[in-house]
Structure 1
């Protein structure tokens, strides 16, 4: 059974923060800010597990990010779903449902982690950062939202050495999302045209 589409969108948008967080050690904050400043694009593959009190669901796919404000997440297993942020609109295409949902990007990402994609200043403006220990060879930084209406409690971003390895997110309902990253490229050859989306013929298009 699939998770609620609204929950999926929020947790997926949270994935976009992963491209902007650095090392959890004495120099973690400096490394984080340098990474945030220097990184204009990133791509790779991911596995994402969303765990609630009653069930757990794991999905797999690949992603692309081009700053400012462009991102694409392709879920490939166990179902096919695409989320595209084109700078103005966020499109969510569910192939099984033959349905596309569109939302205004600035209203959808708001003060969420995805805002870091569109505004490099969002890291300092929206989060309180601190080192958060190591687990399984991965060093973590905890990012706590400054806003009380962010919709999540905290985000933990993990690095193995200088390579992005994992992210953990707990939302305001107590659901936990864990993401593992692989095959990362911090200098992908991306163009803005790759982040355009046109709804396929015959699908329902819903505006929210």
Structure 2
């Protein structure tokens, strides 16, 4: 009886691993055809009790591999640019720029899969299809700022993201005015820093 139970557990474990691998491949396939993506977004952040603590609107531009531009228009004007080697956070209100290495900024961050084609990077995350066209992604290693990332797709492509962070806050991001695989000028991923801004360069 004990050997039968052990055999069943091994079979179940193998099935679970295979299913997760299939889910990862399904998500990778969906994102593989996404060479570039532009959209307007609305963001709503809720705390552990479901209370809304922050709302924002802006625009997202991304290109594979490894490039992202996140512009917030309200309530404050900020720009975050990942150029492939560094991440630049430009805060217009306080006239300050923070720069860090991109490898450091995306460590254990499931968002990296949106722009990464690297198989070794994908192997650092667990992907689970929670419902048709919706995938939950989590880093295998502990210590990341984002616990889980949920990506949902419709007939056109990526439709929304939901992030649960290490503090228990949930950020729901919905996209509109979506453009898939349209040409994007390289200048979109170059940080234009005014000379008057203070620069905090945290790169090693």
**With structure 2 as the length reference, what TM-score do the two structures score?**
0.77
2:123 alignment partner, one of 114, 120, 125: 125
Say whether 1:196 aligns with 2:190: yes
**What RMSD over aligned residues (CA atoms) do the two structures have, in Å?**
2.2
* Whole-Å separation in 2 of the counterparts to 1:31 and 1:196: 32
Instruction: Indicate whether 1:65 and 2:100 are aligned.
Output: no
Name the structure 2 match of 1:45: 40
Among candidates 28, 32, 35, match of residue 33 of structure 1:
28
1:10 corresponding residue in structure 2: none
Residue 79 of structure 2 is matched in structure 1 by 82
SS in 2 for 1:166: strand
Question: How far did 1:76 drift?
Answer: 0.8
Cα distance in structure 1, aligned partners of 2:66 and 2:131: 31
Could you tell me which runs of 5 or more consecutive residues in structure 2 were left unpaired when the two chains were aligned: 1-21
- What is the TM-score of this pair, normalised by structure 1? 0.76
Mapped to 2, the partners of 1:142 and 1:162 lie a distance apart of 19
Partner Cα distance (2:178, 2:76) in 1:
22
After TM superposition, the structure 1 stretch with the greater mean CA deviation from structure 2, 80-89 or 141-150, is 141-150
Identify if the C-alpha distance between structure 1 residues 124 and 107 changes in structure 2 by more than 3 Å, giving closer, same or farther.
closer
Asked whether the 8 Å contact 2:57–2:72 carries over to 1, the reply is: yes
Q: Choose from 92, 96, 101 the match for 1:104.
A: 101
What SS does the corresponding residue of 1:188 show, helix, strand or coil?
Answer: coil
Q: How many aligned residue pairs are there?
A: 178
Whether 1:159 aligns to 2:153 is yes
1:115 to 2:112 alignment: yes
Q: Which has the larger radius of gyration?
A: 2
* 1:4-61 deviation line (CA, Å, top 9, x unaligned): xxxxxxxxxxxxxxxxxxxxxxx96554222222222111111111222475101000
Distance 2:100 2:138 in 1: 26
Q: Distance in 2 between matches of 1:151 and 1:74?
A: 20
